[in-house]
Amino acid sequence: MITTSFSLAGKKALVTGAARGLGQAIAIGLAEAGADLMLIDRDPMTETKEAILTQSRRVALMELDLGEMDGTLAHSVINQSILQLNDLDILVNNAGIIRRLATVEFTNADWQDVIDTNLTSAFYLCQAVGTYFLKNNKRGKIINLASMLSFQGGYMVPSYTATKSALAGLTRALANEWAIHGINVNAIAPGYFETEVTAGIRSDTERNKEVLKRIPAGRYGKPEELKGISVFLASPASDYLHGAVIPVDGGWLAR
């Protein structure tokens, strides 16, 4: 049955930025497909944990600021995840922040904080989990959260756009290197979703109207609408998919 190819029964997944929004929905979706979870965020993850427990899946938590990630910490995170879950099959690099300012007003922190959280943490976690997969001759799945700004420039979000463009490139680079070893590295590129990141836009009547006119679907995405693509990329159904950056944007990029 084709449906068995989408099962994550017995799989172990690590999801960053899992306290709310897209990361929360992705984590719950993976649990619904059968995976046990390690959740990472700097904020409390109680709500996500409780939702996963209703699926009778195992869940562990690690409170951590991803902006502090380096190679040593990343290997510690992966090792701790393996210890807690007894293995690790899936990494979802979802954690991200945004700073919205005119470029000439950007401070060092506005640039570096976003780079560290969105890009540097993802690289080091990919490196650490890739080391584990390769050392154990293990098939694995890595899913990076890119953005439609991996394809476009955005407006007054230079550091965010830079990180999301880089994540798309990193996804392709790692796929080129690791596909031969049975490690799938792909990315999801969400458009406008109902999250904290878009709260300011949605509260601005004129700006919100402009955005909705540009989306063929005529609405913002709901976080739970990323469950399907996430399960697909984490499951055996995507075993021959490598280096893809898949837009989930209501048709935004098609217009």
Q: Which residues are catalytic?
A: 160
Structure tokens at 57: 């899946």
Contact yes or no for 103/153 (Cβ under 8 A): no
- Which alpha helices (DSSP H) does the chain contain, by range? 21-32, 46-53, 71-85, 108-114, 121-135, 158-178, 199-203, 205-214, 227-234
Distance CA 144, CA 166 (A): 11
Q: Is 224 helix (H, G, I), strand (E, B) or coil?
A: helix
What are the C-alpha distances in Å from 216 to residues 14, 206, 213, 221, 253?
Answer: 33, 18, 7, 12, 9
What contacts 242, CB < 8 A, 6 or more positions away? Answer: 175, 179, 184, 185, 186
